[in-house]
Chain A
Amino acid sequence: MRRFTRLFVALDETNRTNEKVAALESYFREANPRDAAWALHFLSGRKLPRTVTSTALRNWAAEAAGLPSWLVEECHDAVGDLAETAALLLPDTPSTIDLPLHELIENRLLPMRDAPETMRKEMLLRTWSELDAKERLVWNKLITGSFRVGVAQTLVVRALASVAGVEQAIMAHRFTGRWQPTADDFNHILNPNPEAGGEVARPYPFFLASPLEGNLEALGPLSDWQAEWKWDGIRAQLIRRQGEVLVWSRGDEMITESFPEIAEAGRAFPDGTVLDGEILAWQGELPEPFSRLQRRLGRKVVSRKMRGDVPVVFLAYDLLEWKGEDWRARTLEERRRQLESALDDALHRPVEIAGKPLTAIGETFDLFELEHFSPIPALPLRLSAVLTPDSWESLLPMQHESRVRGVEGIMFKRRSSPYGVGRQRGDWWKWKIDPFVMDAVLINAQLGHGRRASLYTDYTFAIWHENKLIPVAKAYSGLSDAEILEVDAFVRANTTDKFGPIRAVKPELVFELAFEAVQESTRHKAGIAVRFPRMSRWRHDKKAADADTLENLRALLRVPR
């Protein structure tokens, strides 16, 4: 625990990338693999479910510190983070035990989860009494499932790659996949042999597009580029290897279980195939809003009713692996050609389901024939169409069609380019449609998290309806640091009411919010919900009375999507 805490402090105490990487490297070199495996688990952003509720933590910390719990709550309000608050309040005692991280997790933290409350409390208080202030902060963050450290995943990969002595791309490949916090898996990740690490689940790091800001002509001859719609779904890789199919999301999650029909369809490809594409809710010839797709997420079991209500497709746009071979270094042109033929074969290939051969193309078939369920349409696999503009100018009207088509804009991919790693600029560009905007009034504020803890940075905005302001969106991003300080000072000086951590403020400040779409919503007071709202501008020139009305916003519901 001491070594891991030292790493945490080192990462926390510097803003220099090189120093962070150096701290990580020396940790991975020195630490026992059993401990390092857990460290890596947390550094990769994975969490353990919280073992202790906020209320319990607050009450027990109050008890251990000899303070009333309302005062602990006030402290929490000032700090913004309960784990840190508790660490600051507990008596300042030295650390008396150096428990290896893996023992702390495996013998204390994990057993606490299923222990009765009295045991949990006893274990927590005991651990607190054995750790010093810094160790307690780390421990509190682990038990509340809020462990975050200011280090980007790419830096962790850089450090691991350097320790293992393999290329970063290979390490990114190993790192993104499925591994458990065990010494074996950790040693495997650090295997100096670049060939090691071909397990079934290993996805490839996604290649990400950069926003296109200049004009189109700057990209050079149109013939160098492949244009496609920019889909608004879940970016995912369909991995077909060794008889298995896995769906891996851009959010680094295995989402196979949420989309069983896509996993089934993936069986139509030969072993050793990895496709890059987008999962979309789909009806007829058009995608459906993202909100429909969200209903499918986070479910371990997807009911047949849900499958029928929200049909989905996997829209393929790239081929990363074919016949077990990494195709990423080949040109997009070559990959695309093979993708088209692979998809064609898949759709024509007889599929075996429940021991019965079935053909998919052009007809419907009953996957659950034996149980007499309604037929489902052909395999939910599609190709992301290539647009064929005859000039750069002809793309303008096409881009304007984006909203009607339910897409976010247009993508440009260089035909001669390999499939890169992460957000490398130059070969993949996204040309997004302009967002909608509205002017809304700041009515509530809440403390932020992380580097914004103790500042009011999370805001609720309202617009007018029948001469009243009604809340319509929450937004956290878009302001500069200086503006945040200004709003923070305003919130503190103009609080009219407090509800728990929320402060109601004098409705005075007006902000322009940018957002992607408006949807009907029964969960919101306004009856509508806006997608991905963020502050695009502080309208110093506007007064609260000048803000938009709900009627204006509702009118956008009629704009397709």
Chain B
Amino acid sequence: MRPRNFDDELDDTPAFSEAVTLLRNTSSGLYCDAGDFYIDPWKGVDYAVITHAHSDHARIGSRNYLASEEGRAVLQERLGPESRIESLPYGKSITRNGVTISFHPAGHILGSAQVRVEYRGEIWVASGDYKVEAEPTCTPFEPVRCHTFITESTFGLPIYRWRPQAEIFADVNGWWRANQAAGRTSVLFAYSLGKAQRVLAGIDPSIGPISVHGAVAKLLPHYAAAGVRLPEVQSVETFRAAEGRGLVVGPASIDGTPWLRKFGEISKAFASGWMQLRGARRRQALDRGFVLSDHADWQGLLSAIRATGAERIWVTHGSTGPMVRWLKENGWEAQALVTRFFGEAANGKEEAEEKEP
């Protein structure tokens, strides 16, 4: 393994002799020569096609953005009102220098999309982040047939096997009730964009009052506008009157802050795929870890890859090495795609660099 160096203007793309290379890796990110655009660039470019609004995919500084219609509002919220964003409903396409671009649901968070790129009959799909289990806060994942599929593999090891979400939410509800009985406020850490709303949609709101951190709250109107039904949340002041009966949802970055101390005695839990490992949960001194992920698990990744019918797979984020080797051993042409972000570490971060105000 050689050290990664991102400053070199190197083309890391594997050379396939016969194949058309529609996308290649550059120091700014995945680039389409024929169409002159980038997908999820990590530097400012002229034209950026964005899979979803998480900060490791949607970076500020580009002149023009193209996003899915469903994801436009949250992306604007994240990138700021100044950013120029065009949008396109799922399944509709535009053409740029003869290259057809379209978005297809990725099921990761509200508005998340796979990017389909077609040029002279050659079809490539960049998945962005995705999960295959359907849930109420976003349009469910749809497989897209293609020649080359660029898949994420954040949880690309067979140790990651998700239980049905209904079981996880039953556990969350049980934990909340037990805390209520003990007079403790339940604090559930969840990424403020996506996971927090999914949690709100999944828990049983009849148990008690619910409040959220500001980072979550400011995204709720966009969910409402998209027609996602979420339970009512209370302001922190009203909520505190409930004294130990309620549930607070906020990003993990609030752990140990004065804001959290407002709630008196609390029980802390984290909803994340990383909670599958005992070590990850125990390290953070959490009371509970709920294995609830917005990424596909091992079987989910494999089923998604199969459903594309693609022969060539590029693997990015997370456990790229094992996934590439497994795919090669099972008849695929596969290659790791180095990205700037390290999804590899099980540090409880599904999104890199999520900074909360």
CB within 8 Å of B: which residues of A?
12-16, 65, 67-68, 70-71, 74-75, 78-81, 84-85, 88-89, 92, 150, 448, 450-455, 481, 485, 488-489, 492-498, 506
Contact = CB atoms under 8 A, between A and B. Distances in A.
27 contacts: A12-B282, A16-B287, A67-B158, A68-B326, A68-B329, A70-B325, A74-B322, A75-B157, A88-B158, A92-B161, A92-B163, A150-B282, A448-B279, A450-B279, A453-B277, A453-B279, A454-B280, A455-B279, A455-B283, A481-B283, A488-B345, A493-B3, A496-B1, A496-B2, A496-B3, A497-B1, A498-B1
Of the listed residues B277, B279, B342, B346, the one surrounded by the most CB atoms of chain A closer than 10 A to its CB is B279
Q: What is the interface of chain B mostly: helix, strand, loop, or mixed?
A: loop
B159 interface: yes
Contacts of B287: 13-16
Given A15-B287, A75-B157, A78-B159, A450 B282 contact: yes
Contacts of A497: 1
Of the listed residues B4, B321, B322, the one surrounded by the most CB atoms of chain A closer than 10 A to its CB is B322
User: What interface size band does chain B fall in?
Assistant: 20 to 34
Contacts of A16: 287
Given A451-B279, A488-B347, A88 B319 contact: no
Contacts, number: 93
B351 interface: no
A32 B2 CA distance: 57
B347 A65 contact: no
A65 B158 contact: yes
Nearest to A484: B283
Given A15-B286, A81-B279, A488-B347, 13 more contacts: A13-B288, A15-B285, A15-B287, A68-B329, A74-B157, A75-B157, A78-B159, A79-B279, A88-B159, A92-B161, A492-B345, A493-B3, A493-B4
A8 to B, nearest CB: 11
Contacts of A485: 347
B120 interface: no
Contacts of B311: none
B161 to A, nearest CB: 7
Nearest to A76: B159
A488 B157 CA distance: 20
Contacts of A454: 277, 279-280, 346
Contacts of B288: 13
Nearest to A497: B1
B186 to A, nearest CB: 14
A71 B326 contact: yes
Contacts of B280: 454
A75 B159 contact: yes
B342 A489 contact: yes
B278 interface: yes
Nearest to B278: A84
Contact of A494 (B3, B278, B325): B3
Contact of A74 (B1, B161, B163, B319): B319
